Amino acid sequence: MNYQDELYNLAREIDTAVATVAQTARGAEQAPLQWRLPGELGSVTVSGAGDLSEVTLDVAELRQYSADALARTLLQGIRDAERRADQRRRDTVAAAVTETGLA
């Protein structure tokens, strides 16, 4: 195999690896993450990109919270879910980069 063929094959391998990582990143951004709120209050769901998509609350549990405490708890839960989704996405992409040999 001559030098040009080797370069062409290497470029194809790199293109394939980059496409695999890009596809993995898209999948990780779309994968929902459900985060449980403290106690039995409920949960929040965010996309892998950290976009809030759902909040589920147990009405009976709401009565145990003041308005301020509920607001703080919900906000903290959403922030925690966003951080965890972002970390999961970064870890997934990093693993794909390593697996494809791009690292």
* 50/90 Cα distance (integer angstroms): 12
Asked if 99 contacts 24 with a C-beta cutoff of 8 angstroms, the reply is no
Residue ranges for the chain with pLDDT beneath 50: none
- The predicted model scores a pTM of 0.82
Q: What are phi and psi of 44, to 5 degrees?
A: -125, 145
In this prediction, residue 102 carries a pLDDT of 86
In this prediction, residue 14 carries a pLDDT of 93
Domains annotated on the chain, with CATH:
3-100 (3.30.1310.10)
DSSP strands (E only) in the chain = 33-36, 42-46, 52-57
The candidate with the shortest Cα–Cα distance to 48, out of 77, 83, 23, is 83
